[in-house]
Amino acid sequence: MNTSNQPPLTEEEARVIEGKGTEAPFSGKYDDFFQQGTYLCRRCGSPLYRSKDKFRSGCGWPSFDDALPGRVQETLDADGRRTEITCKHCGAHLGHVFRGEALTEKNTRHCVNSVSMTFVPEIIEEVALERATLGGGCFWCIEATLRMLRGVTDVISGYTGGHVDHPTYEQVSRGTTGHVEVAQIVFDPEHISFAELLLVFFTLHDPTTLNLQGNDIGEQYASAIFYHSEEQKATALEVIEKLTKEQVWDDPIVTRVEPLGTFWKAEDYHQKYMEKNPDQGYCRAVIAPKVAKMRALWSHFLS
């Protein structure tokens, strides 16, 4: 299925893109190709990779250690051994992603078939994405729910607000570092505003209990908005004032509104936790009901 004004796929392109095939190594036109520009999905034209993220891996296929935010989907192969990468917009097969090879500082290799891409030499103007950093209990819950929203391109679990550099989960869990478990959301303001994001956030946790969400107790589980700009601060205060006037809760909102300090990304096993552990007890008992609540209350925001 061609989803854009792109020319029809050739037989070889269809074999790879739609049939999930693989081109022969060292045969692709972008394997030994390092011009400045942007690589697009051959089928739908969606921007996928920037030339600055391309590197020589010697594997025989174009290699990138990063993709444009929210443009590439990762799915575990049926055999459970490799992770397929596809265009998030149209589902076109791109190749596979590998990690742990220590080929670049990002330790990631997107191994992409040349025929799955087209190249434009000029840099395509990128969407002006914004970031928001929110704490509302265990970051597994916030990450899993906010990731569902239309306009959200990424959600990263991490820590902020403390006094220890490079904190570990074990340190933060002891409640002695001053850090809060947070989700840092990358979003497109043309699809969801910061105020709308906050309205969803406030309904997914209890903002009237500062350091308590269900059975999660401690400063690390604080209800908090760590603003990235004075504009975000003003919006946060306006939303809180509005919700207070509407008396959405019987008790006052105690959510902290503070400037963002250093954000520390949490360990890899915390990222996309529910997606990786759907049958884990906490996911089934705590996160799944929040996801259901999200669907019931904010279906018009869901992607």
Residues assigned a catalytic role = 111, 138
Dihedral sign, Cα of residue 13, residue 17, residue 19, residue 20: positive
**φ/ψ bin of 237: left (φ > 0), alpha (ψ from -120 to 50), beta (otherwise):** alpha
Could you give the 3-state DSSP secondary structure of residue 181?
strand
Which of 211, 208, 203 shows the shortest CA–CA distance to 290? 203
CA–CA dist 134, 142 (Å, integer): 8
Query: How deeply is 241 buried, as exposed, middle or buried, from its count of CB atoms within 10 A (0-12, 13-18, 19+)?
Result: exposed
Q: For residues 291 and 270, what is the distance between their CA atoms, to the nearest angstrom?
A: 17
**Residues forming a β-bridge with 224:** 135, 256
Angle at 187 between CA 131 and CA 1, to 5 degrees: 150
Q: How many angstroms separate the CA atoms of 99 and 97, rounded?
A: 7
Backbone angles phi, psi at 71, to 5 degrees: -105, -15
Cβ pair 111, 96 in contact under 8 A: yes
